[in-house]
Amino acid sequence: MSATSHRGGASAIRSQPLRLLARVAAILLAAMTLSAPRTLAQVGTRPARVISLVPSVTEMIFAMGAGSIVVGVSSYDHFPPDVATRPRLGALVDPDFERILTLHPDLVIAYGSQEDLVRRLDAAHIASFSYRNGGLDNVTATVRRLGERLGRRADAERLAARIEADLGRVRQAVKGRPRPRTALIFGRESGSLRGLYASAGVGFLHDLLELAGGDDVFGDVRRESLQVSTEMLLARRPDVVIEIHTSEGWTPTRLAQERHVWDALPALPAVRTGRVYLLADDSLSIPGPRVADIAERFARVLHPDAFTPNRSETR
């Protein structure tokens, strides 16, 4: 009994400094927030210091000719090459709030799910622009919305129109051609066909595949991605398999090795006819201004005779 009460007393004493510490931290944070320059951007003004934690949006800002206003990027930004000169401030799960504050941004571009970050930015009177992934339409819609927000409506409109025109050209090139049943794979264990992930019926990759003249074999599943079992893959009988590898380090030799892994399923129509294509490029997963390039790469493997053969893919 006495031991218990003693322990209780000790923990009460120990927890008091903790509570004090928390209070001090809160006060410091508030002070920091107040001392930050009053940069609450009014709608209509042109933000001059923008931080983008979303690679696809970073690309959009650069592509509309406003790269100079970007003062910080996410840890996953690699394009355009200029981003290498900007400080990296974390990404979806680990934004570095303190460093964001010290860069005095007047606009921070964040993912829609980063509610905590947006709340803290609000507290610091820093405006934010919320981005969510969506279908292919969402790319040009985001460009236009962004142009509005950055006060660069004309630049944005030019970019959106160019993307739409490029996509239209790809659509036109494959028009009327038979649409091969295609499985778009964007992840698996290296060296085996285990842990296959495929694009399903929602999202910009699915939309790009359909636009490029392919019939998504998993298009009926209303999800962005799907773990595909061997049984399901065999049952869906894709005529073409397109595999995209977005991480670094995929040499042509490795891609050729990985291509042979598919020989484990010889009855798959795509394997039998040799139509398994491995594409390696980190742009392939970014729903940004380069989506038309992705569409064209898909279209070139799906309908090689629709294009002049100026570009070869690993096959």
Partner 1 sequence: MTARSPLTRGIPVVLLCFALMVAAIVFAPFIGSTDISFGAVFSRRVPFADNIDAQIFFLARLPRALAAALVGGTLAAAGAVFQGLLRNPLAEPYTLGISAGASLGAMVAITFGAMLPTGGVATAGLAGAGLAVLVVYALANARHRGLSTTVLLLSGVTLNAFFWALILLVQYLSDFAETYRALRWLMGDLDVVGYSSIVTALPLLVIAFVAFAWLARPLNLLSLGAEAAGARGLNVARAQRVAFFSGSLATAGAVSIGGPIGFVGIIVPHLVRLVVGADHRLVLPASACFGAAFLVACDVVARTVAAPLDLPVGIITALAGGPFFLWLLLRRR
Q: Which positions touch partner 1 (CB under 8 A)?
A: 76, 92, 186-195, 197, 218, 221, 226-232, 234-235, 237, 245-250, 254, 257-258, 264-267, 272, 285
Distance CA 116, CA 119 (A): 5
Give whichever of 78 and 145 is closer to partner 1, judged by the CB atom. Answer: 78
Distance CA 79, CA 284 (A): 12
Q: DSSP secondary-structure letter at 229?
A: P
Closest approach of partner 1 to the CB of residue 189, in Å: 5
When the beta carbons of 245 and 300 are compared against partner 1, the nearer one is: 245
Q: How far is the CB of 33 from partner 1 (least distance, A)?
A: 28
How far is residue 122's CA from residue 150's CA, in Å, rounded to a whole number? 18
CB 68 within 8 A of CB 174: no
140 versus 199: smaller Cβ distance to partner 1 = 199
Both structure tokens of 36? 């930050």
- Alpha-carbon distance of 94 to 197, in angstroms, equals 25
- Using CA atoms, how far apart are residues 66 and 271, in angstroms rounded to an integer? 45
Residue 187: both structure tokens together: 């992840």
With tokens 């799910």, the residue in question is: 113
For partner 1, the closer CB: 169 or 272: 272
Q: Minimum distance from CB of 18 to partner 1 (Å)?
A: 24
Distance (Å, rounded) from C-alpha 182 to C-alpha 210? Answer: 9
* Nearest distance, CB of residue 237 and partner 1, angstroms: 6
- Residue with smaller CB distance to partner 1, 61 or 268: 268
Helix (H, G, I), strand (E, B) or coil at 124: coil
CA dihedral 132, 134, 140, 146 (to 10 degrees): -10
**Which of 99, 254 has the CB closer to partner 1?**
254
Q: Which two tokens stand for residue 49?
A: 């210091």
CB of 201 to partner 1, least distance (A): 11
* Between 49 and 181, CB nearer to partner 1: 181
Least spacing, CB of residue 41 vs partner 1, in Å:
30
The least distance separating partner 1 from the CB of residue 247, rounded to whole angstroms, comes to 6
**Cβ count within 10 A of residue 136:** 21
